[in-house]
Amino acid sequence: MTITAPSRREAKLFSGRSSLALAGNIAKAFGKELGQITIKNFSDGEIWVKFEENIRGTDVFLIQSTNAPSDNLLELLIMIDAAKRASAYRITAVIPYFGYARQDRKDQPRVAISGKLVADLIAKAGADRILAMDLHTPQIQGFFDIPVDHLYASAIFVEHFKKNMDRSNLVVASPDIGGVHMARSYARRLETPLVMLDKIRIKHNDCVVTHQLIGDVSGKDVLLVDDLVDTGGTLCNGAVVLHSKGAKNVYVAATHAILSGSAAVRLQESVISQLFFSDSVEIPDYKKKDKFQFLSVAPLLAEGITRIHEERSISDLFPEKGPIL
């Protein structure tokens, strides 16, 4: 009897409710329609998930950002469990925005390291690997006991800025010391100088006092880069300092637009000229202000999914990264 090697397993993409628009664009870029899945809430709020097609033996990709509310995370866990019990061959959790990543260390007594807890929950639910983008700190990858593929939205942003922004008078700025590696990556690929702001955060999600600029921005256009925008305090105050030091225009590039509370209004009314976000987090239309421009990361995530499915390198997507991020 002759045994033939099995052909590559079929890939199927499914979306949770937090990432429907992005997932649809990812599927389009991947060349397939999203798979059929039913997700609903019972009257008491419990989440119910059912795959409406056979996924036995398939390479399953579940797309869901885990931004607030926490139901988005729970929904992802239940999707993973349902896929495992339906005998999926491999389950990859595609998490464009990984929530709880800012709780990555014990910086005070008697606090949780919630990022590690969430990583454990996803693995325990049955995920075989993770595809994430611009984690708050790259060390988060070490929280997982399963493989993590990490994408950088800067590939999309840099391409856009090279085509659409005058870089002859541009300086890239980091809003704090923690963002220097990301800012350095932008500065190197955009071939611009790099400066850094220093800040003091009074308390979580409260006023940020930016008090020192390291570098010169006099007469320059400044691109302030960060991985996410939550309340907007860091960027708004940073832009004020940059203007006070002689900057002509301040632009912002941030991957994840969390935009909690009145952040969208705060940013719209700030001295920032324009803000560029990815579509990793779906936000309501009333938070999409005139100064905001959204760049889709669907092609990047689709390429990541393709490479995982075909067992090809992810790092080859970012040859310029080297050891800097």
- What digits encode the pLDDT tens for the residues 94-143? 999 999 988 888 888 999 999 999 999 999 999 999 999 999 988 899 99
Cα 169 to chain centroid distance, Å, stands at 29
Structure tokens of 62? Answer: 């579940």
The dihedrals phi and psi of 311, each to the nearest 5 degrees, come to 60, 45
Q: Are residues 181 and 274 in the same domain?
A: yes
Query: Which has the minimum average pLDDT: 30-34, 298-302, 318-322?
Result: 318-322
Q: Are residues 217 and 306 in the same domain?
A: no
pLDDT of residue 116: 94
Looking at the domain assignment, is residue 208 inside a domain?
yes
Q: Are residues 233 and 148 in the same domain?
A: no
Catalytic-residue membership of 50: no
| % pLDDT > 70, the chain | 92
pLDDT band at 219 (very low <50, low <70, confident <90, very high): very high
Mean of the pLDDT values across residues 299-323?
87
Q: Are the CB atoms for 244 and 261 separated by under 8 Å?
A: no
Looking at the domain assignment, is residue 103 inside a domain?
yes
Task: Give the span between the Cα atoms of 311 and 198, in whole angstroms.
Answer: 42
Q: Is 318 or 266 the better-scoring residue by pLDDT?
A: 266
pLDDT of residue 4: 44
Q: Are residues 187 and 100 in the same domain?
A: no
Q: Are residues 306 and 288 in the same domain?
A: no
**Could you give the dihedral angle defined by the CA atoms of residues 141, 142, 146 and 149, in that order, rounded to the nearest 10 degrees?**
30
Looking at the domain assignment, is residue 2 inside a domain?
no
Mean of the pLDDT values across residues 42-53?
97
Q: Are residues 257 and 312 in the same domain?
A: no
Q: Are residues 137 and 269 in the same domain?
A: no
Q: Are residues 35 and 129 in the same domain?
A: yes
Looking at the domain assignment, is residue 251 inside a domain?
yes
By residue range, what is the domain housing residue 243?
154-295
- The CATH number of residue 70's host domain is 3.40.50.2020
| pLDDT value at 323 more than 50 | no
Q: Are residues 47 and 95 in the same domain?
A: yes
pLDDT band at 321 (very low <50, low <70, confident <90, very high): low
Q: Are residues 143 and 213 in the same domain?
A: no
Looking at the domain assignment, is residue 5 inside a domain?
no
Q: Is 63 or 136 the better-scoring residue by pLDDT?
A: 63
pLDDT of residue 206: 58
Q: Are residues 137 and 27 in the same domain?
A: yes
Mean of the pLDDT values across residues 195-214?
71
| pLDDT value at 203 more than 70 | no
For residue 244, the one-letter residue type is S
Looking at the domain assignment, is residue 3 inside a domain?
no
Looking at the domain assignment, is residue 284 inside a domain?
yes
| pLDDT value at 84 more than 50 | yes
pLDDT of residue 211: 65
Which position among 12, 116, 199, 220 bears the catalytic label?
A: 199
Q: How many residues does the chain have?
A: 325
57 CB neighbour count, 10 Å cutoff: 13
Domains in the chain, number: 2
Closest CA to 230 of 200, 255, 195, 197: 255
Match 């008697």 to its residue by tokens.
Answer: 110
| pLDDT value at 228 more than 60 | yes
CA–CA distances in Å: residue 169 to residues 191, 243, 253, 297: 11, 15, 17, 27
SS3 letters across the chain: CCCCCCCCCCEEEEECCCCHHHHHHHHHHHCCCCCCEEEEECCCCCEEEEECCCCCCCEEEEECCCCCCCHHHHHHHHHHHHHHHCCCCEEEEEECCCCCCCCCCCCCCCCCCHHHHHHHHHHHHCCCEEEEECCCCHHHHHHCCCCEEEECCHHHHHHHHHHHCCCCCEEEEECCHHHHHHHHHHHHHHCCCEEEEEEEECCCCCCEEEEEEECCCCCCEEEEEEEEECCCHHHHHHHHHHHHCCCCEEEEEEEEECCCCCHHHHHHCCCCCEEEEECCCCCCHHHCCCCEEEECCHHHHHHHHHHHHCCCCCHHHCCCCCCCC
Q: Return the bridge partners of 49, or none.
A: 39
**Could you give the dihedral angle defined by the CA atoms of residues 63, 259, 182 and 276, in that order, rounded to the nearest 10 degrees?**
90
Q: Are the CB atoms for 62 and 76 separated by under 8 Å?
A: yes
Q: Are residues 62 and 83 in the same domain?
A: yes
Mean pLDDT for all residues in the chain: 92
Looking at the domain assignment, is residue 325 inside a domain?
no
pLDDT of residue 81: 98
